[in-house]
A = this chain, B = another copy of it.
Amino acid sequence: MHSPKVSIVGGSGYVAGELLRLILLHPHFSIKQVVSESLAGKPVFRAHPHLRRFTDLRFSWLSELEECDLLFLALPHGEAMRRIDRFREIAPRIIDLSADFRLKDPVDYERWYGMIHPHPELLSQFTYGIPELHREEMKNASLISSAGCNATAVILALYPLFREGLVDCERTVIEVKVGSSEGGRRGSPASHHPERSSSVRAYKPTAHRHIAEMVQELGFGKKIELHFSATSVEMVRGVQATAHIFLEDDLDERAILKLFRSYYGNEPFIRIVRERSGIHRYPDPKILYGSNYCDIGFVRDGRSNRLVVISALDNLMKGGAGQAVQSANIMFGFDEKAGLEFPGLHPV
C-alpha cells in the first residue's frame, strides 16, 4: 500500500503536537498539512518545540486544506460539528478528537453540553474510538470519534466488570486525578503556575461531561449510575482513575484477575499490573508519559464487597493522540502497534 497522507486540523494544541510527533515517526503514514488559523505560516516547531529539526513543515490556513487520505480533527468542542460537511469532502476517513460525535443519542448533547446537535443524523455513523471495545467496527469505519481521556481511563477499568454484569450498577464511585495538560494549550487563571502548582483542586466534583460517554459505553441496556469526580493534581500529563465498585457476588482477586485476563490478555496496549510489593504495584501515570499503555490494577477490600480498580494512562497518548493513531492503524489495516512502541520513561 502507498503511504497514506494525513492532515491535522487544529494543529496548535497539545494533542495535535503529539499526533504530529507520532505521524512523523510512523512507518506507514506521512504528514501532509497541519492547519492552524492562529499560527498559519509559522514553522510547526514554534508551537511544538520538541519537533525542532524533525520537520520543516509550516502551519497552513484552513482555506488551504487539500485532499488527503485521513484527517485528524483536533479542534475545540463545537468546531468539528459545524464544519463536518466540508471536512468530509476533504478526506474519506476522519478521526475527530473532540466530543462532537462521541454520543449516540442527540438528547445527550442537550443534557450534557447544553446545545442542539446540528448533525444528529451523523451520530450513528461515527464509531466510538476505543479500539478495545470497537475494534471490529473500526476496520470498516470511515468516521471515528476518539474517546475522551478520562472516559478512556474509566471505561477500560470497568468494561469487563460491567459487561459481565458483576457490579451493583448504582453504586460505583469514581475519582480521577488529572494533570494540567488536560486543560489544553490556552492559559487561564486556573492554569497560572503560582496557582496551579501543587494544588489539589476539585475542579469537577459532579456533572463532568465525560460521564455521558462512560454511561453510554458501560450501560449494556441497563440503567447505571456512575458517581464521578475529577480532581487536578500536580503533574502535567496523566490520568489516574480509582473506581470503587461494589460486587454483586463475592469474587476473589484470583477470579477478578482471570476476568481481566480474558478480556485484555491479548490487548497490545493494556497491561494488567499485578505485583505484590514494591512502589510500582498499582498503576501510576508517572511511568506512562509518551506511551500508549493503559495500566490497570485492582485490590479487593477484605472488609466489604468493595473492589478498587485503578487505571492510569497518558491523557495526550492513550487518552488522545496515541489512541487516535491506534484507531487509524486499525482503520487502514496496519499493525495496531505501528508507531506506538515507545514504552515511557523511568524515572521522569
Chain A positions near chain B (C-beta within 8 angstroms): 14, 17-18, 21, 25, 46, 48-54, 171, 173, 175, 177, 179-181, 183, 185-202, 205-207, 225, 227, 229, 231, 233-238, 240, 242, 244, 271, 273, 275, 278-280, 282-291, 293, 295, 297, 299-304, 306, 308, 310, 312, 341-348
- Whether A234 contacts B236 by the Cβ 8 Å rule is no
Contact B342 A342 (CB under 8 A): yes
How many copies of this kind of chain does the complex include?
4
Pairwise interchain contact B244-A284, C-beta atoms closer than 8 A? no
B193 near A192 with CB under 8 A, answer: yes
Give 5 nearest A-B pairs by CB, closest first.
A234-B234, A194-B347, A49-B280, A202-B282, A193-B196
* Closest-CB distance, A192 to chain B (whole angstroms): 4
On chain B, the residues within 8 Å of A52 by CB distance are 271, 273, 295
- Measured between beta carbons, the chain B residues less than 8 angstroms from A242 are 175, 202, 205, 229, 231
In the docked arrangement, what's the CA distance between A111 and B235, Å? 37
B50 touches A343 (CB 8 A): yes
For the residues of A in contact with B, the DSSP-based class is: loop
| Nearest-neighbor residue (CB-CB) of A48 within chain B | B346
Contact residues in B for A183 (Cβ distance below 8 Å):
194
Q: Which residues on the B side are within 8 Å of A25 (C-beta)?
A: 341, 343
What are the residues of chain B within 8 A of A234 when measuring CB–CB? 197-198, 233-235
User: Which residues of B are found within 8 Å of A297, using beta-carbon distances?
Assistant: 202
> Contacts A175-B242, A271-B53, A279-B190: A301 and B231 contacting too (C-beta < 8 A)?
no
Min CB distance A213 to B, Å, is 15
Picked from B50, B54, B301, the residue with its CB within 8 Å of the CB of A345 is B50
Q: Which residues of B contact A244 (CB under 8 A)?
A: 173, 227, 229
